[in-house]
Structure formats: C-alpha cells, structure tokens
Copies of this chain bind each other. A is one copy, B any other.
Amino acid sequence: MSEAGFDGFPHVLGEWLKGKGPDSDIVVSTRVRFARNVRGFPFTLKATPQQRADVLALCEEALHKVHLQRSIVTLELDKLAEVKRDVLVERHLISRELAGGDGPRGVAYGRGEMLSIMINEEDHLRLQWIKSGFDADRAYQALCKVDRALEKVLPFAVSDRYGYLTACPTNVGTGMRISVMLHLPALTMKEHIDKVFKAAKHMNHAVRGLYGEGTRAFGDMYQVSNQATLGRSEVQILESVKAIIPRILETERQMRGQLYAEDRSFLEDRVLRSLAVLRNARRLNVQEMMSHLSMLRLGIDMGLVSDVPMRTVNEMFILGQPSHLQERQGRPMNPTERDTARADMVRAMLAAHSN
C-alpha cells in the first residue's frame, strides 16, 4: 500500500501503532509537540483571513524549501470534506480544534504518519512526532531536526527573555509538550486510577482519558502530558516525563500481577469473552469495541491470547472510529449501520489471525 491514496489522503496507518518499542505492553505511543509562530503575524485567533492565508502560504513554502514536502502530504483543510478532517483527528494527525476551525489552515504529515505539522491551529505551527512505545528521546530528537530545518527558512517569534512566544501562556518558553498514551486496564479495574491522576498532578503532569467523556476512559486508554513549559528547558521537561512514566508503568504492572495471582480465571474469563464477542458480534458500538479491545490487549500482554498481534489491536482502536468507518464506506452512515460496519471490520481483521 502507498502512504497516500490518489487524493493525497492517508490509507495506511501510522508507524506509531505498530505496538513495538520500549514498554509497548503498556505504552502505545509517545508524542512530542512544539508550538511555533511566524514572526510578524498576529496569533491565529487574532489574524485576519488574509493574514492566515499568508501564514499558510509561508509555511507551505518553508516546508518545500527544507525538502520536507517530497515525503509528506500537505492538505488545505478548508478544502477538505468534514468526514476527511475527522479521519485526521481520529488518526491523531490534527486536533479537533483545527478540524472544526475555519479559514485557511492545513496539515502536513508523513514519515509513516510519525510527523505531523498543523498550520494555523492556536499557534501558526504545531509540529509533532509520534513514536511507538515509550520513546521520548527519539521522538524529541526527530522533531528537533524538523524544527531546526524550518527555523532556518522561517522566522519564528522568539523572545530573548521568554523563549518561543505562543498564543497560550502555558506554552510559552519551549512550546514543548510530551504526551504519552498509556493502556492502564489493571489500574482501572483495581480502581487505582484516581491515585495516578493525583500523583501526576502533584508532579505537574496532567492525565486524561483519551476516549470518552468525564473520568470514564473508554478502552482504558489514558494520556499523560507535562503541564507548564515556561521557565523549564526542553531537557527538564524530557527528564520529568522520564521520571513519572516509569512509576505509572510499575504500578500498572504490579496491579496486573496482582490480578493474575489473585484470580487468574477471572482475568481469563474477561479476556476470552472479549475476544469471543469481537470475533462474533454483528454489531458493536465504539465504546463496547474499545472495552473489549482493552481486555484483548491485556490478554495478549499476559500471554492469554497468542494469535492476535498487538498492531492489529492498536489499529482497530483507530479504524473502528466513526469517521474512519464512513470514509471507508464512502458515505455517511447512521449509528446502526456504523455498528454493523464496525463489527464486520473487526471480525475480518481478527479472522486474518484466527486460530
């Protein structure tokens, strides 16, 4: 498969979903993001449509100059159908804010969808690099290269005193955020997840459920991110994330061990039922799919399921979302049609790995 379809639209899933890399039993991915703004233009929200168009053109030109455009796809989002913008959101390539915004704005992405550059989001530029597993250093290094190359051809708004200037004060300084996507089923089942939230907050990091609303995280997927950036160096941010994540991993592994030791058959029951439902359901809503995928993911890690690759599970989390299903089908679908299409897709993906 090529990286992009005939219309420049991605039809292959991110390299970061491959389920490899350090601690990939728990960590799905590590994302590093830099916020940058082009000198001489107001921040996006204050910019006129013409100014936004100018920023978009300047950024595209810069990408071209640094030869990034050879290997990446650039999409102007106001020319893209809503469902395709939503696919990019579900794929973690753009934010929901950029998808739902208006006026001249775009995204450039490539390198197996590890690299993504949003243009005219809250900041003029949001660069991100996603690696599979817990790999903050390499994601950071890869993103630095892109950042430095761009900086040579595009004047960024920088203050000698504060560092990079950004639309929101919480990003001023390095403009850097590290977000780690974690699968924490045992902490969730053992109802210890609130403790993780509190401990992370105490260490100046935020934890949120990746899917779902409120405190209920569908699929037991969570994201841990550093908070304030001002007054802290990039290395300090890296170090703080590298300090907190291993502690969460340790607790999750401890809870998994406890679950297994206390009641192995309870765990087996949950895991094997989930796999059975995924293999046989004719209708699956997204919440139910995610909760069964979570149990399947846990079962793979604990050796209870051996014939389903982690990559397939990670991909189903993305491909089973509403806009992906509709894009694939080429038409809008009502909830029942989506639930049917989702179940069909899941069965087909698992049938490729049937025992």
A residues sitting closer than 8 Å to B (CB atoms) are: 265-266, 268-269, 272-273, 275-277, 279-283, 340, 343
CA distance A283 to B281 in the complex (A): 20
CA distance A279 to B280 in the complex (A): 11
| 20 more A-B residue pairs beyond the given contacts A265-B282, A266-B282, A269-B281, with a C-beta to C-beta distance below 8 A | A265-B283, A265-B340, A266-B283, A268-B282, A269-B282, A269-B283, A269-B343, A272-B280, A272-B281, A272-B282, A273-B277, A273-B280, A273-B281, A273-B282, A276-B276, A276-B277, A276-B279, A276-B280, A276-B281, A277-B277
- Give the number of copies in the complex: 2
Q: Give the residues in chain B near A265, CB-CB below 8 Å.
A: 282-283, 340
CA distance A340 to B264 in the complex (A): 12
Q: Known: A269-B343, A343-B269. Contact between A275 and B280, CB under 8 A?
A: yes
Q: Give the residues in chain B near A266, CB-CB below 8 Å.
A: 282-283
CA distance A273 to B283 in the complex (A): 10
What would 24 A/B residue contacts be, using CB atoms closer than 8 Å? A265-B282, A265-B283, A265-B340, A266-B282, A266-B283, A268-B282, A269-B281, A269-B282, A269-B283, A269-B343, A272-B280, A272-B281, A272-B282, A273-B277, A273-B280, A273-B281, A273-B282, A275-B280, A276-B276, A276-B277, A276-B279, A276-B280, A276-B281, A277-B277
Instruction: Tell me what chain A mostly uses at the interface: helix, strand, loop, or mixed.
Output: helix
Which partner residue on chain B sits nearest A269 by CB separation? Answer: B282
Which partner residue on chain B sits nearest A264 by CB separation? Answer: B282
Q: Give the residues in chain B near A279, CB-CB below 8 Å.
A: 276
Q: Give the residues in chain B near A277, CB-CB below 8 Å.
A: 273, 276-277
The minimal Cβ–Cβ distance linking A236 to chain B, given in whole angstroms, is 48
The minimal Cβ–Cβ distance linking A249 to chain B, given in whole angstroms, is 28
Q: Give the residues in chain B near A268, CB-CB below 8 Å.
A: 282
CA distance A29 to B272 in the complex (A): 35
Which partner residue on chain B sits nearest A284 by CB separation? Answer: B269
Which partner residue on chain B sits nearest A278 by CB separation? Answer: B276
Which partner residue on chain B sits nearest A265 by CB separation? Answer: B282
Q: Give the residues in chain B near A275, CB-CB below 8 Å.
A: 280
The minimal Cβ–Cβ distance linking A335 to chain B, given in whole angstroms, is 13
Which partner residue on chain B sits nearest A347 by CB separation? Answer: B272
Which partner residue on chain B sits nearest A274 by CB separation? Answer: B280
CA distance A170 to B272 in the complex (A): 51
The minimal Cβ–Cβ distance linking A298 to chain B, given in whole angstroms, is 15
CA distance A275 to B273 in the complex (A): 11
CA distance A340 to B267 in the complex (A): 12
CA distance A280 to B272 in the complex (A): 6
Which of A266, A276, A277, A281: most chain B CB closer than 10 A? Answer: A276
